[in-house]
């Protein structure tokens, strides 16, 4: 088995809203290829290119697990027309793409329902003897994660039940769209019942049970996790803001510089 993070999730907060894309994780287990979350349109080309770099295309994905139906985690699902799509039935009933009522959610869910490969689940669901979809309610009503037995370790992909290391440490996710009590209980469940060696969060790089970021040689993920924000000036220059992790992958640092094009 191999676990590979194709895209590491980010959240950038501005006074105009959020720039977000989710972590996208690939699991290869014998003859089964599984993708957990798909990201949104902003990461569409990056996702396809990341698959191409390892010799895969969307048609090679057997199963797509959507941890929940917020836009930053699921919008690229239409790339995977030949894949089985696993969604919690509570998400299909209650969750909206943006977290607020909108008309687009209905069209999106109808697209999923029209697929003959849609599998709605209620409760935990085993994909294989070492890979299990688990309920992690709180952030949304039907939030799910994936528990994996991998190389003698337990790995849990949490979606936004645990979006980042900060949420893991303080015991509650940054944003809750369903039930704050259940959200806290879910994180407590991960800590005390699942006791994973490695956590792959929805919007951060992986970390261990002790609350320390891990290195890329433990779980395969892009070593260059810098996020570049580019602002074009009227003088045809880029103001480049780079947010990246330090070499020991312990804490974020930022670099701002003016770079001519």
Both tokens assigned to 103: 């008309």
pLDDT top residue among 175 and 250? 175
198, 218 contact by CB (below 8 A):
yes
The confidence score (pLDDT) of residue 235 equals 73
Express each pLDDT in 23-82 by its tens digit: 999 999 989 999 999 999 989 999 999 999 999 999 999 999 999 999 999 999 999 999
pLDDT at 202 over 70: yes
pLDDT band at 241 (very low <50, low <70, confident <90, very high): confident
pLDDT band at 253 (very low <50, low <70, confident <90, very high): very low
pLDDT at 257 over 60: no
pLDDT at 174 over 90: no
The confidence score (pLDDT) of residue 44 equals 95
pLDDT band at 110 (very low <50, low <70, confident <90, very high): very high
Angle, CA of 28, 8 and 51, to the nearest 5°: 45
pLDDT band at 21 (very low <50, low <70, confident <90, very high): confident
Mean pLDDT of the chain: 88
Displacement of CA 80 from its chain's centroid (Å): 16
Q: How large is the average pLDDT for residues 140-162?
A: 96
pLDDT band at 234 (very low <50, low <70, confident <90, very high): confident
pLDDT at 261 over 60: no
The confidence score (pLDDT) of residue 39 equals 95
pTM, full prediction: 0.88
Q: How large is the average pLDDT for residues 175-182?
A: 94
CA distances from residue 11 to 45, 55, 162, 181 in whole angstroms, order as listed: 19, 29, 13, 23
What are the chain's domains?
2-220 (3.60.15.10), 226-261 (no CATH)
């Amino acid at each position: 088995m191999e676990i590979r993070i194709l895209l590491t999730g980010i959240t950038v907060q501005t006074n105009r809203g959020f720039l977000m894309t989710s972590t996208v994780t690939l699991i290869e287990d014998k003859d089964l290829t599984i993708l957990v979350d798909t990201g949104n349109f902003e990461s569409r080309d990056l996702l396809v290119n990341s698959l191409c770099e390892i010799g895969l295309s969307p048609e090679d994905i057997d199963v797509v697990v959507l941890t929940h139906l917020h836009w930053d985690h699921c919008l690229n699902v239409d790339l995977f027309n030949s894949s089985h799509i696993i969604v919690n039935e509570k998400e299909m009933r209650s969750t909206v793409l943006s977290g607020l009522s909108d008309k687009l959610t209905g069209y999106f869910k109808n697209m999923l329902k029209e697929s003959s490969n849609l599998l709605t689940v209620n409760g935990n669901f085993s994909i294989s003897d070492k890979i299990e979809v688990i309920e992690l309610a709180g952030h949304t009503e039907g939030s799910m994660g994936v528990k994996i037995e991998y190389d003698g370790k337990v790995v849990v992909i949490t979606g936004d039940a645990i979006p980042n290391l900060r949420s893991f440490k303080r015991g509650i996710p940054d944003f809750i769209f369903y039930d704050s009590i259940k959200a806290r209980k879910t994180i407590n469940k991960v800590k005390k019942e699942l006791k994973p060696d490695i956590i792959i969060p929805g919007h951060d790089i992986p970390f261990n049970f002790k609350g320390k970021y891990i290195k890329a040689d433990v779980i395969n993920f892009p070593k260059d996790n810098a996020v570049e924000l580019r602002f074009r000036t009227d003088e045809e220059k880029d103001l480049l803001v780079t947010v990246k992790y330090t070499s020991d992958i312990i804490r974020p640092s930022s670099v701002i510089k003016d770079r001519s094009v």
